[in-house]
Chains A and B, each alone.
Chain A
């Protein structure tokens, strides 16, 4: 349980700067997910909090105390590694007990805590096994047991689920969430998987090239992305980003994308002729009965290029007035490529970005 503060943290490997001055305050008991494409510096930030990498500049504080020059062992943080890093020559019991032995806890206390953690993680039947005799999911649990048994100030997770197959990953993700809700400990979790970020985080931190792009709740970053990068990174399939030109007519704005003209419903301040990037989430495009509630000017006939059925929903790549987009609609769309279907755009969810900086243009 502790507040973690990152103040202007930078990291340089040789001449190569990988983290450019990150400021972040992580509240007590908060679950923060650092997400971004590979090479964005997210793991480096995590390792700096752990003390496994030194800082090139700035400061890190845990529970109000600067730890920038503190050894990893004295920071009271526990980390779960991507490849679990279990000690292969030790049993599950000894793996979990290791940190307690190092802290010179009594035998009784160690035993009690190890059994408690094992019980919580359903590892009791495997305590005397070596890691090699465990399945991927069990190894993952041992790694978690090793972290929770210490009651650390901060949990650090470095892509802990990426070595599991898809089904097990979903299951472990939920178990992890339940476990951490019980533990009530400040957690920093690194992943490149935006679904993990969306489902686990209290707040998501999106990193790109060593810079923070946006910090916010999962809903925030989904609905109000700060840049086109966030808009395309969070959410699957990614947001349709289209370049258009603003038209002003009688104080009302519309945006022209290719030959497609979309009215701008909300109060925004644009200039006539301004170049702009428009973001439309695939799930903001509707089909079927749902579009009946939309005004006429929000509806368009789209020519289907490809459609994929994902059980209950369908992904459609379509063309409207010479503009290519992807929609994720309810139901099974069985129309063949080349067919036309009526689509409606939920324009209240339309997003605007500066055409040069690619940053979001907020409503006034």
Chain B
């Protein structure tokens, strides 16, 4: 069979191609700028390829940003872990241990998802200061854990809604209690849910900037804040922030390249019958 492109598909792929190019232009700009020597970076020649590959930008940016990267790794991993685990327990209760008023509590929980970061910034700042947690990583971790709970609880509740209640009831009759049902039945069945939720949380927390800058002191700044400082100096050699931003994007990019398909599957969980 000879494949022939009709005008329609040609038009479709043409348009898509143009959109891809437009979408990738900033990435291209960041990449070529990162590879240029500081002296070569000028506005008129910003789209040109570098005359000489300056790979050193990446190592320089890395050494400048290292403390921030370490902070971000600690922050993202621990806040992701805690909010996912707690969200899973919440989802377990909201789907399988409903009690009088649990639906109302769950609905109130969901409101948390629609509150913008900025709105709670000042009360959050005051609360953390009152708790003596302002300025360091633990405070920021706590903030992210609490703020992440609505979405993680929602994902897990929907995920657990697919687990037949008869499984839980059967385990109850088999003399398993609340926690042993969780650890032996519910948890092993929800590994895909954990993948999805951790991906989501990790990305959110890694990319978050506003709380990072407002709630931590210099030595505890996450990578997003470190990058802003790198770009915000008086005489900036633009290759460094560009290299830094590429470095900062790598973890999240890798996650989506390798685990992205779980993500799509997981978000669709329950929406269609398998």
> Which residues of A are at the interface with B, using a C-beta cutoff of 8 A?
50-52, 71-73, 75, 77-79, 81-83, 85, 87-89, 98-99, 102-103, 146, 150
Complex CA–CA separation, A79 to B174 (angstroms)? 9
Complex CA–CA separation, A51 to B172 (angstroms)? 9
Complex CA–CA separation, A143 to B170 (angstroms)? 10
B interface majority secondary structure = helix
Q: Please tell me if the beta carbons of B188 and A72 are within 8 angstroms of each other in the complex.
A: no
Contact flags B163-186 to A (C-beta < 8 A → 1, else 0): 010110111111111001000110
> Which residues of B are at the interface with A, using a C-beta cutoff of 8 A?
164, 166-167, 169-177, 180, 184-185, 188-189
Chain B nearest Cβ from A80, distance in angstroms: 9
Q: Please tell me if the beta carbons of A83 and B188 are within 8 angstroms of each other in the complex.
A: no
Chain A nearest Cβ from B156, distance in angstroms: 17
Q: Which 4 A-B pairs have the closest CB atoms?
A: A99-B174, A85-B166, A85-B170, A102-B175
Contact of B173 among A77, A82, A83, A89 (CB under 8 A): A77
Return the chain B residue nearest A150 by Cβ: B174
Return the chain B residue nearest A87 by Cβ: B185
> Which residues of A are found within 8 Å of B184, using beta-carbon distances?
98
Contact of B180 among A72, A83, A102, A150 (CB under 8 A): A102
Complex CA–CA separation, A203 to B33 (angstroms)? 86
Complex CA–CA separation, A83 to B168 (angstroms)? 13
> Which residues of A are found within 8 Å of B171, using beta-carbon distances?
87, 98
Contact of B174 among A52, A82, A83, A102 (CB under 8 A): A102
Return the chain A residue nearest B168 by Cβ: A85
User: A85-B164, A87-B185, A88-B189 are known contacts. Are A99 and B169 too (CB-CB below 8 A)?
Assistant: no
> Which residues of A are found within 8 Å of B170, using beta-carbon distances?
79, 81, 85, 87, 146
Q: Please tell me if the beta carbons of A73 and B180 are within 8 angstroms of each other in the complex.
A: no
User: A98-B174, A102-B175 are known contacts. Are A72 and B189 too (CB-CB below 8 A)?
Assistant: no
User: A87-B185, A88-B189, A89-B189 are known contacts. Are A73 and B172 too (CB-CB below 8 A)?
Assistant: yes
Complex CA–CA separation, A51 to B175 (angstroms)? 12
> Which residues of B are found within 8 Å of A78, using beta-carbon distances?
173
User: A87-B185, A89-B188, A89-B189 are known contacts. Are A99 and B166 too (CB-CB below 8 A)?
Assistant: no
Q: Please tell me if the beta carbons of B166 and A72 are within 8 angstroms of each other in the complex.
A: no
Q: Please tell me if the beta carbons of B173 and A50 are within 8 angstroms of each other in the complex.
A: yes
Chain B nearest Cβ from A15, distance in angstroms: 16
Chain B nearest Cβ from A282, distance in angstroms: 38
18 contacts between A and B (CB under 8 A): A50-B169, A73-B172, A73-B175, A78-B173, A79-B170, A81-B169, A81-B170, A82-B166, A85-B164, A87-B171, A98-B171, A98-B174, A98-B184, A99-B173, A99-B175, A102-B175, A102-B176, A150-B174
Most buried by A among B167, B173, B174, B184: B173
Chain A nearest Cβ from B187, distance in angstroms: 10
Chain B nearest Cβ from A90, distance in angstroms: 8
Q: Please tell me if the beta carbons of B172 and A103 are within 8 angstroms of each other in the complex.
A: no
Q: Please tell me if the beta carbons of A72 and B173 are within 8 angstroms of each other in the complex.
A: yes
Complex CA–CA separation, A103 to B171 (angstroms)? 12
> Which residues of B are found within 8 Å of A98, using beta-carbon distances?
171, 174, 176, 184
Complex CA–CA separation, A150 to B188 (angstroms)? 24
Complex CA–CA separation, A98 to B174 (angstroms)? 7
> Which residues of A are found within 8 Å of B173, using beta-carbon distances?
50-52, 72-73, 75, 77-79, 99
Complex CA–CA separation, A82 to B176 (angstroms)? 20
Complex CA–CA separation, A88 to B185 (angstroms)? 9
Chain A nearest Cβ from B205, distance in angstroms: 30
Chain B nearest Cβ from A108, distance in angstroms: 19
Return the chain B residue nearest A77 by Cβ: B173
Contact of B167 among A73, A85, A99, A102 (CB under 8 A): A85
User: A83-B164, A103-B175 are known contacts. Are A72 and B169 too (CB-CB below 8 A)?
Assistant: yes
Contact of B172 among A52, A82, A88, A146 (CB under 8 A): A52
Complex CA–CA separation, A334 to B185 (angstroms)? 59
Chain B nearest Cβ from A59, distance in angstroms: 20
Chain A nearest Cβ from B179, distance in angstroms: 12
Return the chain A residue nearest B181 by Cβ: A102
Most buried by B among A50, A73, A82: A73
> Which residues of A are found within 8 Å of B177, using beta-carbon distances?
73
Most buried by B among A50, A51, A75, A85: A85
Complex CA–CA separation, A78 to B176 (angstroms)? 13
Complex CA–CA separation, A85 to B174 (angstroms)? 12
> Which residues of B are found within 8 Å of A85, using beta-carbon distances?
164, 166-167, 169-170
Q: Please tell me if the beta carbons of A87 and B169 are within 8 angstroms of each other in the complex.
A: no
Q: Please tell me if the beta carbons of A72 and B172 are within 8 angstroms of each other in the complex.
A: yes
Known: A72-B173, A85-B166. 12 other contacts (CB 8 A): A50-B173, A51-B172, A51-B173, A72-B169, A73-B177, A79-B169, A85-B167, A85-B170, A102-B175, A103-B175, A146-B170, A146-B174
> Which residues of A are found within 8 Å of B185, using beta-carbon distances?
87
> Which residues of B are found within 8 Å of A50, using beta-carbon distances?
169, 173
Chain B nearest Cβ from A35, distance in angstroms: 21
Return the chain B residue nearest A99 by Cβ: B174
> Which residues of A are found within 8 Å of B174, using beta-carbon distances?
73, 98-99, 102, 146, 150
> Which residues of B are found within 8 Å of A71, using beta-carbon distances?
172
